[in-house]
Structure 1
Amino acid sequence: MTPQSKATLYGLGAVLAWSTVATAFKISLAHLSPAQLLLYACAASLLALLSILAVQHRLGELLPGLRLYWRRSLLLGAVNPFFYYLVLFQAYALLPAQEAQAINYTWALTMTLLSVPLLGQQLRRRDLAAALVCYVGVLVIGTRGEVLTLSFSNMTGMLFALGSTLLWASYWIFNTRDTREPVLGLTLNFMLALPLILLWCALTGELTAVPWQGLAGAAYVGAIEMGYTFVLWLTAMKLTKSTARIANLIFLSPIISLWLIHIFIGEPILASTLVGLGLILGGLLLQKLPNKRGA
């Protein structure tokens, strides 16, 4: 098998795994609060990342990395997983899974907009057009098609969903200056975020007994969403000769995710979700089109 074929398989594996997480979020939140899901999922993810380092015979790098990068790890860990997933899980608790996951896909556009004040980059006209198309899609989803009345089905949930894209985009922008090896860096982030999450749960009275179904869901979310799939995706990006070809696989994820949401959660897929998601994906594709000069 060629390296490109392996890259495609790894990329597809990551996309298929990510496609299940919206369903897993919603099922888990039927048994856990957002903070409890974050606590147990973070613990499961940390175990998954430690197992990856163990297989790579790199556990010995943890203590030197912690001494050298503890400030950076604490800051990035506070953003992801702590604040990002706390806000994202709250969005899923308030919104239907189909709406929360569709809005969450605007994070790539949010990152482009944030790169202007944070990195000093310039926006193209195409970026502004893409932003308009994407956020019209968010409007369609948030109002369930009642765009002219601006009657939002759940404004609080939508704000949490949009807030999660802001946090996720900020995390990746901060990450551009991170010189740590990715798997080690993510492990350190989760290691220092876990005490913060535990303290939050203690202060908010969330340290209570939880059902096994919730723990099972959290273990799946932690291992798949936050752990092993990240390494699958990194491996695909290292093996490929075309980053764009692998990156474009991510557009399969929301379509597969909607099907799984319908099958396993029983949500009827609304026409407004399909139209809104189509606009969001269309805006993201518009943003990714090459410049005429580059072509």
Structure 2
Amino acid sequence: MNKFSKNTQAMIFGLGAVLLWSTVATAFSISLKHLSPTQLLLIANLVSLVFLVSLLALKGELTQLLSYARQSWKSSLFFGAINPFLYYLILLQAYNTLPAQEAQAINYTWAIMLSFMAVPILKQRLKMADYIAAGACYFGVLYISTRGQIGSLEFSNVTGVAFALLSTVIWAFYWLLNTKDKRPSLIGLTLNFTFALPLIIVFSAVTGELSHWDTGGLWGAVYIGLFEMGLSFVLWNKALKLTSNASQVANLIFLAPLLSIVWLSQFAGEPILNSTLVGLACILIGLFIQNWAKRTKQQKI
């Protein structure tokens, strides 16, 4: 790969991460037909943890991992309780109650939620573009959740939509707090999964989900743990480190929900609703407006 420029390498790594993320909704949809959200999270967390620890071992950073585990166990437990424990439990509940195409589309509004939550947490100010972007995104959410029947306001599944929107709040909250995290990114992520594992096991035991396993969803859970929670992070992090134009790499994320729709129809047997396409288009327009405004502001600085 040395024959490629760093920016080209960054785009390749970024595309790899986006391709993996685009398959996640399909993997969730298939796996949740056999496993409960808690069972799926338990397997995926364990697989991801093994992958991340193995990666750190290959890099010779296990001693550093143990050092940070002793120094920052409280923050590791706190971050792990938010992500992956709470975030994925809520997100998987959304996927368990909504069609995957709807859950994943709504989940992509987390960037808008982050902008609004940054006001009280980071003392940032909103621009007009943020309000326009939010209007477009949440109109898309409304269109998806009512299956296009906006006038009647008859929601197809209020509980599922609530879970999906709540997941955006948790994810945005996690990333806002993450800006103050002093741990190296890969070590921090590994510690999050380490300290989340006992929480997931205890929760599984209390809810009686350590028994009656359907092995039909096992490989899907392994796939999610290895690729969605593990490898995709490594690829994306590598892409951001190599590029001299972070916004160019970040724009690749717009491909993920579009590809996800294709994989859901082809491999999960989920018919794509017109309301999802219209709503997703509104959400992507909103995200584009937000990204364009940020990029314009950075160019002026």
Shift of 1:102: 0.3
Give the residue type in structure 2 aligned to 1:147.
I
Show the counterpart of 1:117: 120
Show the counterpart of 1:90: 93
Mapped partners of 1:72, 1:98: distance in 2: 34
1:38 paired with 2:44, answer no
Superposition pairs of residues 132-211 of structure 1, within 5 angstroms = 132-211=135-214
1:218 paired with 2:221, answer yes
Task: Give a deviation string over 1:149-182, Cα, whole Å, max 9, x none.
Answer: 0000000000000000000010000000001100
Shift of 1:126: 1.0
SS at 2:277 equivalent:
helix
**Which moved further from structure 2: 157-166 or 123-132?**
123-132
| Residues 176 and 268 of structure 1, relative CA distance in 2, 3 Å threshold | same
2:102 to 79, 92, 99: 99
1:289 to 285, 292, 299: 292
Give the residue type in structure 2 aligned to 1:183.
L
Shift of 1:212: 2.6
Show the counterpart of 1:235: 238
Task: Give a deviation string over 1:253-272, Cα, whole Å, max 9, x none.
Answer: 00000000000111111111
Mapped partners of 2:131, 2:55: distance in 1: 40
Show the counterpart of 1:18: 21
RMSD of aligned Cα (Å): 1.1
Shift of 1:292: 7.1
Show the counterpart of 2:267: 264
Show the counterpart of 1:127: 130
SS at 1:289 equivalent:
helix
Mapped partners of 2:36, 2:262: distance in 1: 25
Mapped partners of 2:278, 2:212: distance in 1: 41
What is the aligned length?
A: 295
Mapped partners of 1:208, 1:35: distance in 2: 12
Mapped partners of 1:294, 1:3: distance in 2: 21
| Residues 41 and 292 of structure 1, relative CA distance in 2, 3 Å threshold | closer
Shift of 1:293: 9.1
Shift of 1:62: 2.0
Unaligned segments of structure 1, at least 5 residues? none
Give the residue type in structure 2 aligned to 1:68.
Q
Shift of 1:294: 4.2
1:252 paired with 2:250, answer no
Q: What TM-score, normalized by structure 2, do the two folds share?
A: 0.96
SS at 1:122 equivalent:
coil
Give the residue type in structure 1 aligned to 2:128.
R
SS at 1:74 equivalent:
helix
Shift of 1:125: 1.1
SS at 2:41 equivalent:
helix
| Residues 119 and 213 of structure 1, relative CA distance in 2, 3 Å threshold | same
| Residues 123 and 77 of structure 1, relative CA distance in 2, 3 Å threshold | same
Shift of 1:59: 1.1
SS at 2:72 equivalent:
helix
Give the residue type in structure 2 aligned to 1:14.
A
Mapped partners of 2:15, 2:128: distance in 1: 32
| Residues 292 and 235 of structure 1, relative CA distance in 2, 3 Å threshold | closer
Mapped partners of 2:291, 2:60: distance in 1: 38
Task: Give a deviation string over 1:8-46, Cα, whole Å, max 9, x none.
Answer: 100000000000000000111011000111111100110
